[in-house]
Amino acid sequence: MPEQRLQPASGIDYPMTMQEFDAWFPSEEACAEYLKRLRWPEGFVCPECGGTKQWPTGRQQMRCTACQRQTSVTAGTIFEGTRKPLRVWFQAAWYLTSQKFGGNALGLQRVLGFGSYQTAWSWLHKMRRAMVRPGRDLLSGRVEVDETYVGGREEGMVGRHTEKKAIVVVAIEVREPKGFGRVRLRQVPDVSGDSLVGFIRDVVMSGSVILTDGWKGYDSLPQYGYKREKTVLSSSGDPAHVALPGVHRVASLLKRWILGTHQGAVSNKHLDYYLDEFTFRFNRRISKARGLLFYRLLQQAVRTDPVPYGKLVAR
């Protein structure tokens, strides 16, 4: 499985259907082999010394011939220390990626027959950690940016403290002559210039054209090499989505996904990871092969550090 190949191919790099999935991954050995190829496409590299020679010492274990250190295909990945079979993890990844809108913890618990809701919940969160590639490409060209408000339950019946809505900034590439490209999202504490322009500087290439409304929080964009195009709303009260249709579409899809797939049960504390999953899906929305999402998820999973349960809930 050479990583240099530009487009991983259906039926060669990943299964296409549930039937193929079953045929590809009948055993723990088959799953471990698949992970090995994703983790070390050029062959084994010792995480300790960089040595490239090893001998197998178990189903998933190997020992480096140079430094003698024992390692495994799952050590140092999101699968580290798992007591469940890899095959069950693969089924979870397939469940999550083969459905257009993903799934929630209750659904995963049912499908895999887990006794514990917490296990299903933590697996989904571990997989979300692997959905965003570190150092991914910056957006470029013409990019719409705007804020939207997500979640936050309405005032509780007995006046209990309820969560405020979270502010999410959305950036989306505008394609010529029509359509939209990739998206980036981030939860921000406020709509100050530091938060908004800080986000843009992190995700959009300098020199790009940024389409915004008239909010002053975006005023410093030219200082950082961006061209700003302001679309000020008319006094007739045109809704913002007329001016920034891409952001509007993403914002409404995001809200529908949180309400639908997750029944609105997303706390602000964990929202960032849901945004990661939304981004992962949205940026692959035109891919006809759902198996490609499965492939990308596992490819990133073997490059993502382990996240112990305590860290998942603490934040």
Positions that interact with Zn ion (CB under 5 A):
46, 48-49, 51, 64, 66-67
Choice between 26 and 47, CB closer to Zn ion: 47
The minimum distance between CB 164 and Zn ion, in angstroms, equals 50
The minimum distance between CB 73 and Zn ion, in angstroms, equals 15
The minimum distance between CB 219 and Zn ion, in angstroms, equals 53
Choice between 75 and 191, CB closer to Zn ion: 75
CB 254 within 8 A of CB 148: yes
φ, ψ for residue 64, nearest 5 deg = -70, 130
Choice between 66 and 132, CB closer to Zn ion: 66
The minimum distance between CB 239 and Zn ion, in angstroms, equals 60
The minimum distance between CB 55 and Zn ion, in angstroms, equals 12
Cα separation of 66 and 53, whole Å? Answer: 7
Largest separation between any pair of C-alpha atoms in the chain: 74
Choice between 1 and 66, CB closer to Zn ion: 66
The minimum distance between CB 121 and Zn ion, in angstroms, equals 36
Closest CA to 131 of 259, 295, 1: 295
Choice between 47 and 179, CB closer to Zn ion: 47
How many helices (H) and strands (E) are present in the chain, helices listed first? 11, 8
Q: How far is CA 256 from CA 250, 253, 259, in A?
A: 10, 5, 5
φ, ψ for residue 313, nearest 5 deg = -90, -25
Choice between 49 and 313, CB closer to Zn ion: 49
Q: Is 76 left (phi over 0), alpha (psi -120 to 50) or beta?
A: left
Cα separation of 126 and 104, whole Å? Answer: 13
CB 301 within 8 A of CB 92: no
